[in-house]
Structures are given as C-alpha cells and as structure tokens.
C-alpha cells in the first residue's frame, strides 16, 4: 500500500496517513520510541495493541493516547510469555512492530537461559513473529540500531559462555541479528508467495530514557551528559519506525534518520551493510534461532500454478 503517496521520507508525525481499520501491535510501547510510534498510529485511527512487560506503564501510556488502544502483557525474555501473548491474538494483524529492546552493562540471562540482550532483542521477537505470522497481513517491522555496523555474529559463542562479556559487543551482535532476521524473513516470505513485507528501522541518536551501557563508565557518563543536548526526542526517534511500518519503502530496507550520518533528521529508507544481508549468515542464524526458541516459520512454500498448455 502506497500510504505515503510515493514519499520515501517522513519528517513529521503529522505526515502519518489515515490508519482507520488497521490493527497494529507494538512491543515495548510503554515508553520511549515505541510509545511515540504507537500514539501516532492510534491518533490516525489504528487499533493499537501495546504489548508490554510493565502493565502499569502500559496502562499509563494507553491513557495518554487517543483512539482504540489496549494493553496486553508480554515479556520478551520469556518464551512462555511470548506463547501466551500470541495465543491471545485471535484476529488479523496488519503490522507487527518489534520495538522492545534492552541494554545491559553486565551479563544477565532470560528466563530461558539466553544471554539477555540476544534473548530480548532477537530471540524473543523471532519467536513472536513466527507465532503470529499466520495472522499478519501487512508488515513486520524490527527495530535495530546503528551499533550493528561494528558488530559480528559469533556462532561459536553466541551466548557469551566462553568469552569475557563485552556489553556493547553483545548489544551490537543482537542488533545485527535483528537485521539478519529481517533479511531471511523476507526471503522466506518471498518463497512462500506471501504479500507480507519485512522491514527494519533504527532511531538514530534518541533521548528516550534508554540508558547507554557500554561497560565503560567514562563513556557511559559522557553519553548520559550529551544525549539530552544532541539527540532528538522520542517523536523524532519514532519517525524511522513509522516510515518502515506504513511508508513506501522497499522490502528488507532499513529506515533511519537522514542527517548527520544517520544521527537525526527526517526518516528515509536505505540499504544495510553486507554483513547485515549476508544470506549464509542469515540462514544459519535462522536455523540456530529456531532450535533455541522451538518456533518455526509457519507458511508453506508457494507451488507455481501449472501452465495449461504444458499439462
């Protein structure tokens, strides 16, 4: 759907077109970029499902929005919670926005024993998408980060069991995994003959209360001091997500800020690095993620209709 009239950029929330009749799920919508994106879509008529771990925060966010908004519990650090949430979605979903994420300065694990950042930022959204995909009709949007550019996937030690834990390295790995997931998801959707589109977004430098924790105390203190001065707010950070969700963008593209090297400014869609679209790495990560989460791509491969003249 050409919902931006052919536009490939989004400079203001006011440009979001009418969304009446559409259902959108946004994870982590209780605060920050997720809350801003959800509010913009709800204001334009969409039915919003705020999938949040903190129900009090979710209800407070919903109360501040106009339109039809409901709050449902979802903890992306728990496969049981993800399955419960997916089982409660009983109708078509136009857009799933995998927005929720985490950052930590030390090694922690999810309820299922996954390294926390990989678990919440990649494996949780991976499982949720697979469990909902038979009901998704439009797009799957996954929020990454510019940190993916300096990251790599260590398939020999994906969970940081043998290496000294590097918080920012683990964060970057999880966000690179998000883009590889988008690449492989789109490939599988194409093979299945599905009209669903997989896209990604990164917010640039956004001041949202999401604390940067690189493991370097001096760097983290400096980031905390300058972020309010140089970064854009949640609304600016939400523009790429909104463009990826309802804009005229190519399948598999990454939407992000267009100014100052991708730090802030109007959102535009573009490509990603070779590492983020490596088909072998994407396929390998998908296989590993299926084994770890116990979820599978639910759509079957499309079978071409025979040409009558050849029968």
Q: What pLDDT does 222 receive?
A: 58
DSSP structure string for 9-24: EE--GGGPPP-TT-EE
Q: What pLDDT does 305 receive?
A: 59
DSSP state of 263: T
Question: Residue 303: inside a domain, yes or no?
Answer: no
Question: Residue 9: inside a domain, yes or no?
Answer: no
Q: Count the Cβ atoms, other than its own, within 10 Å of residue 156.
A: 8
Residue ranges of E strands in 29-133: 47-52, 69-73, 93-98
Which positions ≥6 away from 30 have C-beta within 8 Å?
50, 52, 53, 54, 57, 58, 60, 61
Total tally of structural domains belonging to the chain: 1
Q: Which residue has the tokens 């589109």?
A: 197
Distance CA 51, CA 123 (A): 16
Reply yes or no on whether 171 is catalytic. Answer: yes
Question: Residue 130: inside a domain, yes or no?
Answer: yes
Distance CA 189, CA 187 (A): 5
Q: What pLDDT does 234 receive?
A: 76
Region for residue 180 given its phi and psi (left: phi exceeds 0; alpha: psi -120 to 50; beta: otherwise): alpha
Q: In the structure encoding, which two tokens stand for residue 106, read together?
A: 């030390």
Question: Residue 188: inside a domain, yes or no?
Answer: yes
Question: Residue 310: inside a domain, yes or no?
Answer: no
Which positions ≥6 away from 150 have C-beta within 8 Å?
172
Which residues is 139 bridged to in the sheet? Answer: 95, 197
Q: What pLDDT does 260 receive?
A: 41
What's the domain range around 215? Answer: 17-298
Q: Residue 124 belongs to a domain with what CATH number?
A: 3.40.50.720
Question: Which residue in the list 171, 205, 210, 286 is annotated as catalytic?
Answer: 171
Question: Residue 208: inside a domain, yes or no?
Answer: yes
Q: What pLDDT does 219 receive?
A: 59
pLDDT in tens, the chain (311 residues): 334 445 488 999 999 999 999 999 999 999 999 999 999 999 999 999 999 999 999 999 999 999 999 999 999 999 999 999 999 999 999 999 999 999 999 999 999 999 999 999 999 999 999 999 999 999 999 999 988 888 999 999 999 999 999 999 999 999 999 999 999 999 999 999 999 999 999 997 555 555 555 556 665 555 555 555 455 577 899 999 999 999 999 999 999 886 444 565 788 998 788 999 999 999 999 999 999 999 999 998 765 656 655 54
Question: Residue 4: inside a domain, yes or no?
Answer: no
Question: Residue 110: inside a domain, yes or no?
Answer: yes
């Amino acid at each position: 759907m050409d919902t931006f009239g052919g536009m490939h950029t989004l400079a203001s929330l006011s440009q979001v077109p009418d969304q009446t009749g559409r259902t959108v799920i946004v994870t982590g919508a209780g605060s920050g970029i997720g809350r801003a994106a959800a509010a913009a879509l709800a204001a334009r008529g969409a039915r919003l499902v705020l999938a949040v771990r903190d129900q009090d925060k979710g209800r407070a966010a919903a109360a501040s929005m106009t339109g039809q908004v409901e709050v449902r519990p979802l903890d992306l650090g728990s496969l049981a919670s993800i399955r419960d949430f997916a089982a409660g979605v009983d109708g078509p979903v136009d857009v799933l926005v995998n927005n929720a994420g985490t950052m930590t300065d030390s090694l922690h694990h999810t309820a299922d024993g996954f390294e926390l950042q990989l678990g919440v930022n990649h494996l949780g959204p991976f499982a949720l998408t697979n469990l909902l995909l038979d009901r998704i009709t439009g797009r799957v949007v996954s929020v990454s980060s510019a940190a993916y550019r300096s990251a790599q996937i260590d398939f020999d030690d994906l969970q940081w069991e043998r290496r000294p834990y590097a918080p920012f390295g683990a964060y970057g790995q999880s966000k690179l995994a998000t883009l590889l997931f988008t690449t492989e998801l789109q490939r599988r959707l194409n093979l299945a003959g599905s009209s669903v589109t997989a896209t990604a977004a990164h917010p640039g430098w956004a001041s949202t209360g999401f604390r940067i924790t690189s493991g370097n105390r001096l760097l983290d203190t400096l980031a905390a001091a300058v972020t309010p001065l140089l970064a854009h707010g949640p609304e600016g950070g939400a523009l790429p997500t909104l463009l990826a969700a309802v804009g005229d963008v190519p399948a598999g593209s990454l939407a992000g800020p267009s100014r100052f090297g991708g730090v802030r400014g109007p959102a535009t869609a573009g490509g990603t690095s070779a590492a983020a679209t490596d088909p072998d790495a994407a396929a390998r990560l998908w296989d590993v993620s299926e084994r770890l989460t116990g979820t599978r791509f639910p759509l079957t491969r499309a079978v071409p209709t025979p040409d009558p003249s050849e029968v």
